[in-house]
Structure 1
Amino acid sequence: MINLRKIYKVGASTMKIAVVTDSTAYLPQETVEKYNIKVVPIPFIIDGQVYNEGEDISTAEFYEKLRTSETFPSTSQPAVGELIELYQSLGKEGYDTVISIHLASTISGLHQTLVNLADELTDIKLVPYDSQITVMLMGNLVIEAARLAQAGASLDEILGRLDALRATTNEYFIVDDLQNLVRGGRLSNASAFIGNVLKIKPILTFDDDSHKIIAFEKVRSTKRALKRVEDLFAEEMAHINYPVRIIVIHANDLPAAEKWQAKLKAQYPDCQIDISYFGPVIGTHLGEKALALAWMRDIDKA
């Protein structure tokens, strides 16, 4: 059992720990500022133009471009030189350690890049952390790490807490088709692409063992897919004995997300149910109108 009272005891560590993440956490700006979180933008390319997520283009503008793009969009990694500059600047600010929490290593090479980079940094200790997920599930891990760092928790305490929270994350994605994921190489069982041909709504998830995105089931119609995800969630909730935070995530379809949120609130009145979104980098692979139901231990109640 995690001793939260000990973790949150100010002054528990003499280390000064910074927290870094990437733009796919989709954290509100006020949260970033409140907890002094550093966010590394992930680049993406559409019609030959490179954009930094969260900086050069809005999410709405991205989806407009996606509808009319002549080429399949792609994503990239931040420049290593920019990463080194960020970590070195944190060292100059007085931090001796940085926990850098990023999207799943199964869908991006960024985590491995940081693992390779860690030995090259001498002025600050770099601790790369694989969230094994992305979007606001990762965002909540980042928030918790930043809270603990501000409260003076030690590196081991923060990493232990992150491991415990990460083990509670789960999610199901509903996409219109698998074209983007298959072409982008992010779907491990790509044979499920046949679902698109049959006009079936694929349900995707991160595999518990490999942490890769897999096609979980194929369901006819969005309505049935939503119901199937709700049933899967209910099955899991029946075995959970801790407070859960639910996140409804949408790819440029806020009305659909709000409708689903309202339905879930009626079913789970004791749960915090947030709405978040798939920005350009994740939207590149899932496509517009994707929806997801995600959940994890509630960091405000745990």
Structure 2
Amino acid sequence: MSQIVILTDSTAYLPTTYCEENNVHVAPLSVIFDGDAYREGLDISVPDFYQRIQTGSLPTTSQPNIGDLVESFEQLPQGTDIIGITLSSGISGTYQALHTINMMVEHVEVHPIDSRISCMPQAFLVKEAVRMRDAGATALEIVARLEALKDVIRAYFVVDDLEHLHRGGRLSMTQAVVGSFLKIKPVLHFVDGKIVPFEKIRTFKRAVKRIEEMMDETIQGTGAGYVIGVIHAEDSSKAEAEIAVLQERFPDARMEMSVFGPVIGTHLGPGAIGITWYQEA
């Protein structure tokens, strides 16, 4: 059986200890402030990032360095299968870059998986790949499972400040100004790999309540067999409070917490929160 290498990018925001213990390789994306690139997880911490954007600086983002990935892949044994789980191709070229690398490095087989999303839902896919690899699954079996799993993971986000969506090209100036005046807090989700509004709701609290209502409609009973994740933008107290609410609603679900790191935080801004869930097989 060929060696299976699991690769993801830094926007899965998996803990370093998890990646080291489970042999998950991470390709860092970067945020660029005033022409200087900072690899998330290596050159800039999450607290430092949010401190910088609170001052009004908004970076651009860039995908992993293809040259570094090619160099790493060239050192792998002949016949290695690489399961590459990337953030959505709708907001980054990382997925396409893996296709390009697959044609450049002939002695390994790269299997790019477009998560069509990012953050914790992307991490769910990585963890499933790790579980299957360790259970002896083949690369093609892992790919088939991940392609099916990503279609059932639900995820919604609420932002606190529409300015970041506007500056990132997600909202027009008029939409941002009117939305801020009316205290609109759009519930966002990914459609065709891109961040788009799901519903426009007044006040942050009501927007989060709307996501909870959707969870009530889709999660059965006490939540047994479900994984629920809450994602925060450097505000763990907000996430912990939401987890407490959801744990009371779904006492048998497994709860996890993660963060919107620099690259995704560039689009969503401080104060954002995300809620994601799926039923384990």
TM-score with structure 1 setting the length: 0.86
Q: Give yes or no for contact 1:21–1:40 (8 Å, CA) kept in 2.
A: yes
Q: What secondary structure does 2:148 align onto? A: helix
Which residue of 2 is the match for residue 152 of structure 1? Answer: 136
| Structure 2: distance between partners of 1:98 and 1:121 | 11
Alignment partner of 1:58 is 2:73: no
Moved more, 175-184 or 253-262: 175-184
Tell me which residue corresponds to 1:79.
65
Specify the SS of the correspondent of 1:108: coil
Q: What secondary structure, in the 3-state scheme, does the structure 2 residue paired with 1:119 have?
A: helix
1:219-298 equivalence runs, <5 A: 219-238=201-220, 243-298=225-280
| 1:245/1:276 CA distance change after superposition, 3 Å | same
CA distance in 2, matches of 1:132, 1:151: 26
1:173 aligned to which of 157, 175, 181: 157
RMSD: 2.2
CA 1:240–1:113: 2 relative to 1, 3 Å: farther
- Which deviates further from its counterpart, 44-53 or 287-296? 44-53
TM-score by length of 2: 0.93
Change (3 A) 1:242 1:190: farther
Over 3 Å counting, the alpha-carbon distance change for 1:40 and 1:204 in structure 2 is same
Count matched residues.
280
Q: Equivalents in 1 of 2:172, 2:250: separation in Å? A: 33
Question: 5+ residue gaps in structure 1?
Answer: 1-13
Structure 2 distance, partners of 1:211, 1:240, is 31
Does the aligned pair in 2 maintain the 1:107–1:212 contact within 8 Å?
yes
Deviation at 1:190, TM superposition (A): 8.8
Per-residue Cα deviation, 1:111-137 (whole angstroms, up to 9, x for no partner):
112212211111211111101111111
1:163 aligns with 2:147: yes
Q: 1:169 to 1:258 in 2, by over 3 A?
A: same
Q: Distance in 2 between matches of 1:165 and 1:241?
A: 18
Residue of structure 2 equivalent to 1:15: 2
CA distance in 2, matches of 1:103, 1:169: 14
Matched residue, 2:193: 211
CA positional deviation for 1:268: 0.2
Q: CA deviation at 1:218?
A: 1.6
Residue equivalent to 2:107:
123
Q: Give the 4+ runs in structure 1 shifted more than 6 A.
A: 188-191, 239-242
Q: SS where residue 179 of structure 1 aligns?
A: helix
Deviations 1:153-185 (A, max 9, x none): 112211111122112111110101332233223
Taking the aligned partners of 1:259 and 1:167, their CA distance within structure 2 comes to: 28
The residue matched to 1:64 in structure 2 has which SS?
A: helix
For residue 241 of structure 1, report the CA deviation from its aligned partner.
9.5
Alpha-carbon distance, 1:188 to partner: 8.0
1:16·1:149 contact (CA, 8 Å) conserved in 2? no
Match of 2:29 among 24, 38, 42: 42
How far, CA to CA, are the matches of 1:213 and 1:57 in structure 2?
24
Structure-1 residue corresponding to 2:127: 143
CA deviation string 1:23-44 (max 9, x = no partner) = 1111112210121000011111
CA distance in 2, matches of 1:190, 1:98: 42
- Percent identity, please: 42
Kindly indicate whether the alpha-carbon contact (under 8 Å) linking 1:181 and 1:285 is maintained by their aligned counterparts in 2. Answer: yes
Deviation of 1:242 after TM superposition, in Å, equals 7.8
Q: Distance in 2 between matches of 1:51 and 1:216?
A: 32
Contact kept? 2:113, 2:147, Cα under 8 Å: no
Task: Say whether 1:201 aligns with 2:188.
Answer: no
Residues in 1 aligned to 2:174 and 2:72: alpha-carbon distance in whole angstroms = 41
